[in-house]
Structure 1
Amino acid sequence: MPDEGSERPINHGTPLYLIPDRTICLLRKACRAPEDGQWLRRADLEQVLRLSARLIDPAPRTVLEPLLDSWNANVSQGLHALGLPLEWMGVEAAATYAVMLKNNMVPDAVGQRAARMLLVLNYEEMCQFPECYCPRPRRAAEQKKAYVMNCIAHACGLGDPSKSERDLIHNYLRQGRWLWVIASIVGLGFALICSEELMSTIKNVSLTNNGVNALATHTFYARPAMVALLHSLESAVAHLMSGKISRNLYEAIQDESGILGQSALLQMNEVDRVHLNVQHAGYQDPINLEAVIQDLKNRILANFLGRQLALKHDSPLQTII
């Protein structure tokens, strides 16, 4: 058994048998509805606990410092910092993003996550107002989502796209939605320093919607110091997704004594290790996932496009963060 000072629970996840029943119930409450008639199974819960402990890269500055040079080079040439098209709204933009992801044309992992998340924002906006974006009239009995998807697939140059080609676009959207779920609950900084293991799991579609909900919920309650760090990066990451590099991002990446420095991360892990040992003593409210996710999307839309467009999404939000 690891001693009290060990970081084993943080690095390898908490064994399922050590998690009280009330916490397991909380994770299951994070599920919107049974998938294929089943709630989270034991294997799903074990995956949630493992990935929650490995949510972010353990040495993010090592990964980000080389990327910062290429991002700076892009900005100096008037390009999007992440090498993405500056135009991300509309059918043609959605097609361009999908083709870039398919052909591995997005240079780095941060850009690949941003591309998936922007594709989701674009798609959802077009599904609400398809007449503003789609280049042809809507066919009789054509549902809004199918209408938008058909237009995107046609703009990809696929002609009459096959089911596998449509599925590929749907997979990018699913992956992007999962990124939004996690980033909304644990903080947008997740999109910057997501671990390679978790991103690989997302790209391989080795999770379920319910598993992602439970992962975000468990991390929120089990890792408060990490969640605080990731939320503190929201403004910097929002600027990066829009193609700009903020001073806060420079400082976070370049300053060893900053929030992504090794000393700060060790302190974060220690706070979370202590919390992990006592977190089950109190009552934990379920999170209103849909409201929190939409709230972050609204803030990003407001940042990108101005308040007028963001206010079209005027559903009441309840944020617990």
Structure 2
Amino acid sequence: MNKQQNDFILVTGAAGFIGSFLSKRLLETGKKVVGIDNLNDYYDVNLKLDRLQELKKHKNFVFQEVDIADKDILMSIFQNYNFSVVVHLAAQAGVRYSIENPDAYISSNLIGFYNILETCRRYPVKHLIYASSSSVYGNNQKTPFKETDKVDSPVSLYAATKKSNELLAHAYSHLYKIPATGLRFFTVYGPMGRPDMAYFGFADKYFSGKSISIYNNGDFENDLYRDFTYIDDIIEGIIQLLRKQPIENKGQAPHRVLNIGNNQPIKLMKFITTLEECFSQSLNKVIEFDKSFEPIKPGDVPTTYASTDELHQITGFKPTTPIEEGLQKFTDWYVKYYQKV
């Protein structure tokens, strides 16, 4: 293949939740997108294929089934295309699964990320945006979480790999002047989301006639708090950042890490009752989940709460979608997609 003359944006993890929504938004605004994904079976592959089907309707979308752990294939893709920007979202996700299958995290999140950095070094890009995670904050007691907080005590392998990504990106940015932005995502949710996320699992359990497990010991006074961020807000934040790459300043690497969250954490039980109300609206009947309460899981953290001041200062944007609106869009999609009416 001859090297393409026009600028392309590379989106890794293009069949994933955030990756597919971002690719769709880019394509709708006339951008040319190369999407790669290994289509692994961590969750229902059919959902990934359906996301891809939407993207393939666009003539400016190119998809290649690629595992980012394969350095040679990645190099060949970078050689063939003139990428202006790389948005690296491919990763093995999930805190709890990292306890069951650590190998997947080392392969994708460490080796795969190193390969992305190497390709960006060999074939320079204007901006590398990559996914980090709010999990890097661990059991941080100070809220809201700020990018300047110390994050040297991860409580899961997943969090450790994401913190490692930030360190590696900083080193490569310093050595090779790669403009790079890491995004610490805070509990992203919405239609066509990840089935391994709690809200999606609650829906699956309800329609299977099973009780949902709530990992807060039934302690409503000291409940878990989560900063739930609607998918459209995540995508808008990324879009705003594409052409706002960091610059080298007085010897400082052109690298930064930003929170992207809703800045409005809510109690887990409030989230669950809102989800019940939204499903009641979607189904036009009152529903209530059968609940069982269990101890907090290893690797889970009691609170996630994002300070988004830095993101707002750079872009003028702050996520604003209220949980009631976001969950209603999810339940409407879920009921239609899985034909529950």
TM-score with structure 2 length normalisation? Answer: 0.26
Higher relative contact order (CA 8 A, sep 6+): 1
Q: Which has the higher strand share?
A: 2
Q: Which has the higher helix share?
A: 1
TM-score with structure 1 length normalisation? Answer: 0.27
